[in-house]
Amino acid sequence: MADYTKMWTDLGLNLDNHDALLANLGGAYQSIFMTQENRPAGMGYFDFVMSEAHGLRIQELREEQEAGRKIIGSFCVFVPEEIVLAAGCTSVGLCSGADFAQEEVEKVLPRNTCSLIKSFFGFSLGKVCPYMEVSDLIVGENTCDGKKKAFETFKEMVPNFYQMDMPQNKAPMGRKLLTHEYKAFLAKLEEMTGKKISKKDLQEGIAIVNAKRAALSRLAILRAADPCPISGLDALLINQIAFLDNPARFTEKLNALCDELDVLVKEKKGAIAEKAPRVIISGCPMAIPNWKVPAVIEAAGAVIVGEESCIGERGQRNATDDSAETLDGLIDAVVDRYFKIDCAVFTPNQERVEHIKEMTKNYNADGVIHYGLQFCQPYIMESFSVEKTLEKDGISVLRLETDYSQEDMGQLSTRVEAFVEII
């Protein structure tokens, strides 16, 4: 990597902390990703993006800023990228996938807060996330109680914070609330940029995001093959990078990789051996660099064939209809698309379990591993009914509860190995 010290200093990063984070990340990446066998050649691009995630990509975002674009950071797939792009802005996901500055974090948050929330506090307090620091606006959403209450403290730490309210159920009033919030967000971006969003702008934004989602769905479908042409780890990585990379370039590179995978499937060449036990992972999102559980699963000899997760199919499925004749009609279509996301913060949330069943069937999975972050009430509460419903249908389920530490690796491996043996 080139020397980006000046850029990181200008962004206000704490260089010692940042070096420590990069060293950790680099080591984990090498041992988890680069030791895999039979990786498709197209993964080279995604390895490169990861190696430059804090370098070249940040430089690009700064160049975009110099050219007048605003960078919008977000923590949730409910923040509509179509509207961000329509406003001439760039969307970046704020990862929150690793522990950092835990002692400092626990001075402002209770210990029993989920790792994801603690992570973005740690990244902010430790000044280690260039995406957070480069963002002109950071959008938080009132989804789970943990996030919405934590944002009350977070907004004191981050002056450029914008909070979006969120419905808790799928009733008509919930839809009305989401429409109101998306219109307010659009108005906020117009105010920030001084640009009036037209119907054509939103149509263009929708086209870019739909193309990205179509490529991700192409990748998802290719994983139905046995042998699977790509590891679950690599597929997860691609889904994670979807939140950071330039969307048009990402789509082009992912389609090129899918062309390669098409050939591998025809030739029956797999990244993982044929007849390996096939698993769907379902539950909390796994943000970069949270690769712990997938690494354990694939080290146990199974292959992950789908993620029922916001960094995966829950977040990326369903296109936005772009056929409306008016700007309001298009905003309605954006609301329609996002209102289908079956996050566990909604009650009731029967659609989610139906989707898990559908994924199990579509990707020929032998079992489901439910992944819950400790102290995440929505997903852990829901995991009991998910398990009960799936088992009624004869689908084996393993429920895991963990955090970002490495302390439970031995215990996780034992449980996963036992599960993989019986499916």
DSSP tally for the chain: helices H, then strands E = 19, 8
Q: Which is nearer to ligand BJ8, 35 or 112 (CB)?
A: 112
Q: Which is nearer to ligand BJ8, 84 or 310 (CB)?
A: 310
Q: Which is nearer to ligand BJ8, 105 or 117 (CB)?
A: 117
Cis peptide before 227 (omega within 30 of 0): yes
Give least dist CB 37 to ligand BJ8, A: 32
Residue type, 49: V
Contacts of 252 (CB under 8 A, 6+ apart): none
Q: Which is nearer to ligand BJ8, 55 or 174 (CB)?
A: 174
Q: Which is nearer to ligand BJ8, 237 or 345 (CB)?
A: 345
Give least dist CB 98 to ligand BJ8, A: 14
Give least dist CB 117 to ligand BJ8, A: 5
Give least dist CB 5 to ligand BJ8, A: 33
Q: Which is nearer to ligand BJ8, 265 or 284 (CB)?
A: 284
Q: Which is nearer to ligand BJ8, 94 or 303 (CB)?
A: 94
Distance in angstroms (rounded) separating the CA atoms of residues 261 and 412: 31
Give least dist CB 181 to ligand BJ8, A: 13
Answer yes or no: are the C-beta atoms of 90 and 63 closer than 8 Å. Answer: no
Give least dist CB 214 to ligand BJ8, A: 20
111 backbone dihedrals φ, ψ, rounded to 5°? -60, -40
∠173-174-177 over CA atoms, to 5°? 90
Residue type, 247: P
Give least dist CB 316 to ligand BJ8, A: 11
Q: Which is nearer to ligand BJ8, 179 or 309 (CB)?
A: 309
The overall longest dimension of the chain from CA atoms, in Å, is 59
Give least dist CB 156 to ligand BJ8, A: 19
> What does 125-167 look like in DSSP terms, one character per residue?
HHT--HHHHH-SEEEEE--SHHHHHHHHHHHHH-TTEEEE---
Token pair listed for 170: 């799928």
Give least dist CB 346 to ligand BJ8, A: 9
Answer yes or no: are the C-beta atoms of 242 and 213 closer than 8 Å. Answer: no
Distance in angstroms (rounded) separating the CA atoms of residues 64 and 222: 34
Q: Which is nearer to ligand BJ8, 307 or 322 (CB)?
A: 307
Give least dist CB 114 to ligand BJ8, A: 3
Residues that bind ligand BJ8 (CB under 6 A): 76-78, 114, 116-117, 143-144, 146-147, 284-285, 310, 341, 343, 345, 373, 376, 378-379
CB atoms near residue 418 (< 10 Å) = 11
Q: Which is nearer to ligand BJ8, 50 or 114 (CB)?
A: 114
DSSP state of 71: E
> What does 285-319 look like in DSSP terms, one character per residue?
---TT--HHHHHHHHTT-EEEEEESTTTHHHH-SP
189 backbone dihedrals φ, ψ, rounded to 5°? -70, -35
Answer yes or no: are the C-beta atoms of 373 and 115 closer than 8 Å. Answer: yes
Residue type, 411: Q
> What does 362-383 look like in DSSP terms, one character per residue?
HTT-SEEEEEEETT-HHHHHHH
- CA dihedral (143, 118, 234, 84) positive or negative: positive
